[in-house]
Structure 1
Amino acid sequence: MIIKNLEVKHETIPLKVPFKTALRTATEIESVEVIITLENGITGRGAAAPTYVITGDSLESILAALKGPIKAAIIGRDVKEFQLLLQSVQSCCVGNTSAKAAADIALHDAYSRLIEVPLHTYLGGKKTLSTCMTIGVDTPEKMTKAAKSAVADGFQVLKIKVGANPELDIERIQKIHEAIPSYIKLRLDANQGWRAKQAVQIIHEMESRNFNIEFIEQPVPSYDLDGLKFVTNRVSTLIMADESLFSVKDALKLVAGRYVDLLNIKLMKCGGINEAWKIASIAEANGVGCMIGSMMEPCFSVGAAAHFAAAHPNIHYFDLDAPLWLDGDLDVLTYHRDQVILSALPGVGDVQTTFQGIKKDAT
Structure 2
Amino acid sequence: MKITDIEAFAVNVPLVPFEDGGIGPYVTNHNSLTDMDRILVRVDTDEGISGWGEVRVFLTPEATVSIIEEGIRPLVVGQSPFELEKLRRQVFIEYANADMFFAPVEVACWDIVGKSLEKPIYELLGGWTAPSQTDMKHRGHQDDYADAHEIEVAYCLGILSPEQSRQRAAEVLDQGFSVLKTKAGRDWKEDVARIKAMHDEVDGELEFRLDPNQGWTIDQAIRVGSKLADAGIYLQYMEQPIRVDAHTSLASLKNQTGQPLGPNEDTYIPHNLRRLIDAGAIDVAVLDLTPAGGLAGLRQQAAIAEDAGIPIAHHCAFDLGVRTAAILHAVHGIPGFSLPPDSVYYGWEDDITVDPFDSTNGTLRVPQSPGLGVEVDRSTIEEYRIA
TM-score (norm 2): 0.84
SS in 1 for 2:44: strand
Deviation string for 1:159-199 (max 9, x for gaps)?
12222211212211111111113222112112212111221
Q: Is the 8 A contact 1:293 1:318 kept in 2?
A: no
Query: Cα offset for 1:339?
Result: 1.4
Q: Output the aligned Cα RMSD.
A: 1.9
CA deviation string 1:105-152 (max 9, x = no partner)? 111111111111001011012244201111211211111122122112
Q: Is the 8 A contact 1:57 1:98 kept in 2?
A: no
Match 2:121 to one of 115, 119, 138: 119
- Cα distance in 1 between the residues matched to 2:40 and 2:319: 11
Corresponding residue for 1:86? Answer: 88
Q: Secondary structure at the match of 1:269?
A: coil
Aligned AA for 1:80? Answer: F
Contact 1:333–1:343 at 8 Å: present in 2 too? Answer: no
SS in 1 for 2:26: strand
Identity of matched residues, %: 21
Counterpart position of 1:9: 9
Matched, 1:44 2:46: no
Moved more, 218-227 or 165-174: 218-227
- How many residue pairs get aligned? The number is 347
Is the alpha carbon distance of 1:162 and 1:80 closer, same or farther for their aligned partners in structure 2, counting shifts above 3 Å?
closer
For the 8 Å contact 2:262–2:284, the answer to whether it is kept is yes
Match of 1:23 among 9, 26, 30: 30
Structure 1 residue runs without a partner (length 5+): 51-55, 354-363
Please report how far the alpha carbon of residue 212 of structure 1 lies from its aligned counterpart in structure 2 after TM superposition: 4.3
Residue 351 of structure 2 corresponds to: 329
1:65 to 50, 64, 67: 67
Q: Does structure 1 residue 202 correspond to structure 2 residue 202?
A: no
Displacement of 1:222 in angstroms is 2.0
Cα distance in 2 for residues equivalent to 1:346 and 1:282: 28
Task: State the shift of 1:289 in Å.
Answer: 1.8
* Correspondent of 1:272 among 289, 294, 298: 294
Counterpart Cα distance in 2 of 1:264 and 1:106 = 23
Amino acid at match of 1:197: D
Query: Runs ≥4 in structure 1, deviation > 4 angstroms?
Result: none
CA deviation after TM superposition for structure 1 residue 209, in Å: 0.8
Specify whether residues 196 and 251 from structure 1 end up closer, same or farther in structure 2 by C-alpha distance, changes over 3 A only. Answer: same
Q: Which moved more, 1:60-69 or 1:108-117?
A: 60-69
Q: Which residue of 1 aligns with 2:261?
A: 239
Separation in structure 2 between the aligned mates of residue 267 and residue 106 of structure 1, nearest angstrom: 13
Report deviation, 1:92: 4.3
Of the three residues 178, 186, 189, the one matched with 1:167 is 189
Q: For the residues of structure 2 that align with 1:146 and 1:96, how far apart are their CA atoms? A: 39
Deviation string 1:303-352 (CA, Å, 9 cap, x unpaired) is: 10111111112111123422211110363644241111011101111238
| TM-aligned CA distance change 1:206 to 1:232, over 3 Å | same
Matches within 5 A, 1:172-321: 172-321=194-343
Q: Which amino acid aligns with 1:149?
A: E
Give the letter for the 2:220 counterpart: Q
The whole-number CA distance in structure 1 between the counterparts of 2:52 and 2:352 is 15
Residues in 1 aligned to 2:175 and 2:251: alpha-carbon distance in whole angstroms: 36
What secondary structure sits across from 2:316 in the alignment? coil
Query: d(CA) in 2 for partners of 1:334 and 1:85?
Result: 34
- Secondary structure of the equivalent of 1:316? coil
Q: Distance in 2 between matches of 1:247 and 1:104?
A: 19
Give SS of 1:46's match.
strand
The one-letter amino acid paired with 1:11 is V
Check the 8 A contact 1:323/1:330 in 2, yes or no. Answer: no
TM-aligned CA deviation for residue 248 of structure 1:
4.2
Taking the aligned partners of 1:113 and 1:248, their CA distance within structure 2 comes to 31
CA distance in 2, matches of 1:20, 1:86: 34
Q: Could you report, residue by residue, the CA deviation over 1:202-258 in whole angstroms, capped at 9, with x for unpaired residues? A: 211101111242211111122433322221222222111011110441212111222
SS at match of 1:124: coil
Question: TM (normalized to structure 1)?
Answer: 0.90
Kept in 2: contact 1:162–1:188 (CA 8 A): yes
Paired AA for residue 346 in structure 1: P
Letter of the aligned partner of 2:10 in structure 1?
H
Q: CA 1:119/1:334 → structure 2, altered by over 3 Å: closer, same or farther?
A: farther
> Contact 1:266/1:276 (CA < 8 Å) preserved in 2?
yes
Contact 1:306 1:320 in 2 (8 A): no
Q: Residue 104 in 1 paired to residue 111 in 2?
A: no
Indicate how the Cα distance of structure 1 residues 57 and 104 shifts in structure 2: closer, same or farther if over 3 A, else same.
farther
Letter in 2 for 1:7: E
Q: What are the ranges of 5 or more consecutive residues in structure 2 without an aligned counterpart?
A: 17-23, 131-147, 378-387
Letter aligned with residue 301 of structure 1? R
